Amino acid sequence: MKLLVLSHLVPYPPTSGVVARCYNLLREVAQHHEVHLLAFNQSLMLPGPEQVEAATEELRRSCASVRVFALPHDATRWQQAAIYARNLLSAEPYFFPRFRSEAFARAVHDVIEKHSIDLVQCETIAMAPYAEGIADRPTLLVHQNVESDLLRRRARSERNPALRAFFGLQAPRVARYEDRYLKSMSAHVMVSEDDRSLLVGRARGARVVVVPNGVDTAYFAPGRPAEAAAPELIFVGGMSWYPNSDAITWFLDSIWPEIRRQRPDVRFTAVGSHPCPALLRAAEEDPEHVAAPGLVPDIRPLVDRAALFVCPFRVGGGTRLKILDAWAMGKPLLSTGVGCEGLGAENGRDLVIADEPGAFANEAVALLGDAARRQRLGERGRERALAEYAWPVVGRALLDLYGELTAR
């Protein structure tokens, strides 16, 4: 089968959750089918031509062809702000104008015709307009989250009144387009059963399936035992994504002071690109106990060193690849309910869940003092990673869906 994938980002290097998912599933699928990739480069992720070329070269190891396009309005923050301002008078979601490109649209048509593509796959709803009008072959839309629900949550948690109003305005717009594509696309992929349940009832007869996130269980392998870990909490995630920056800000403002009061020796490390202001400020004021190393080439030594992996999320959707990475490494986890949505995780068995700041702090302190409990949680997480989330297991579900759609 010949597959065309349309991506809103260049899926390499796999340094964030969305990129890791797309990259690893491309590799799995390419072992069985011919894959062609058209992708936009978001300059925040690959800022220079050297990085773009290196990523393209790596992707060509799996894909039959790869073309990368610059975002038409990605040069400056002012251009992006202008797009969002003009969008206030529009009925369409704010991200559609950002990804609108005549050159990309022509390339979609050219690849379909040149390579006799059998199926077109859109990564996120932002790519869905490029599949409109394709009626003679299956089209598949991959939802990393239920975007309208994510926007509603952000509107509720946003402190800035202008942004709160903006995202509150966007949520119903996105929902209308989600409903539109539920009807027009051949099938939809969600990353969790929770997200699937939010969409499946909104369009009678829509084909909505779950292909969960995954993890490289050979790369992310267990390291030191729990009793040898440092009294350290670790978070992993790029903070240009709002749910990550919100999680860190909330943790440092509302949870961290109580943890430090009970355990003065504890340390917190937040790994990820574009550290948020709250983290930079905390690291500057107390470098002995708070670290912001930014984007690192390999997170494994830092995760292995820490006693506890934390996911203090208030906003989100889908499933957290960072949780799967930690599970694969046998690392115990402390998360909010939002942070572990979609994993069917059992509180106290697979990880520990706490939603209120005081409860989160108390659980962190209790786990730091109980190496045997941390060891049990880590071993259970590793078991689940191997059985349910290894990329070959996850990839099989997507391959089965391809077979079903093309057979129709």
**Would residue 220 count as lying in a domain?**
no
Q: Answer yes or no: do 327 and 382 share one domain.
A: yes
Which residue range is the domain that position 240 belongs to? 226-389
pLDDT digit string, tens, across residues 319-357:
578 899 999 999 999 999 999 988 889 999 999 999 999
Q: Answer yes or no: do 378 and 397 share one domain.
A: no
Residue 242's pLDDT is what?
87
Q: Answer yes or no: do 184 and 255 share one domain.
A: no
**Would residue 280 count as lying in a domain?**
yes
Cα distances from 99 to residues 122, 150, 222, in angstroms, run: 13, 19, 40
Tokens representing 25 are 């599933």
Place of tokens 């906003």: 315
Q: Answer yes or no: do 210 and 272 share one domain.
A: no
Residue 51's pLDDT is what?
92
Task: Identify the band that residue 379 occupies on the pLDDT scale cut at 50, 70 and 90.
Answer: very high
Task: Identify the band that residue 79 occupies on the pLDDT scale cut at 50, 70 and 90.
Answer: low
Q: Answer yes or no: do 318 and 333 share one domain.
A: yes
Q: What does the alpha-carbon distance between residue 312 and residue 120 come to, in Å, rounded to a whole number?
A: 36
Residue 318's pLDDT is what?
45
- CATH number of the CATH domain containing 12: 3.40.50.2000
Q: Answer yes or no: do 14 and 115 share one domain.
A: yes
> Pick from 124, 165, 171: which is nearest to 152 by CA?
171
Residue 75's pLDDT is what?
55
Q: Answer yes or no: do 243 and 302 share one domain.
A: yes
Q: Answer yes or no: do 168 and 235 share one domain.
A: no
Q: Answer yes or no: do 199 and 58 share one domain.
A: yes
Provide φ and ψ at 232, rounded to 5°.
-140, 140
Q: Answer yes or no: do 236 and 179 share one domain.
A: no
Q: What does the alpha-carbon distance between residue 339 and residue 317 come to, in Å, rounded to a whole number?
A: 8
Tokens representing 47 are 């800022």
Average pLDDT over residues 283-306: 96
**Would residue 378 count as lying in a domain?**
yes
CB 277 within 8 A of CB 349: no
**Would residue 221 count as lying in a domain?**
no
Q: Which helix (H) or strand (E) holds 8?
A: none
Pairing assessment for the beta strands 333-335 and 267-271 based on DSSP bridges: unpaired
> Pick from 262, 258, 363: which is nearest to 310 by CA?
363
Measured at the alpha carbon of residue 340, what is the angle toward residues 338 and 345, in degrees to the nearest 5?
130
**Would residue 397 count as lying in a domain?**
yes
Tokens representing 241 are 């994504």
Q: b or e along 71-85 (b: 16 or more beta carbons within 10 Å of the residue's beta carbon)?
A: bbbbeeeeebeebee
Q: Answer yes or no: do 203 and 264 share one domain.
A: no
Cis peptide before 332 (omega within 30 of 0): no
Average pLDDT over residues 284-288: 97
pTM above 0.85, yes or no: no
- Indicate if the pLDDT at residue 183 is higher than 60: yes
Residue 352's pLDDT is what?
98
What secondary structure does DSSP assign to 213-225, as a single string?
--B-TTTS---S-
- Indicate if the pLDDT at residue 130 is higher than 50: yes
How many domains, the chain?
2
**Would residue 332 count as lying in a domain?**
yes
The mean pLDDT value of the chain amounts to 92
**Would residue 364 count as lying in a domain?**
yes
**Would residue 165 count as lying in a domain?**
yes
Q: Answer yes or no: do 110 and 194 share one domain.
A: yes
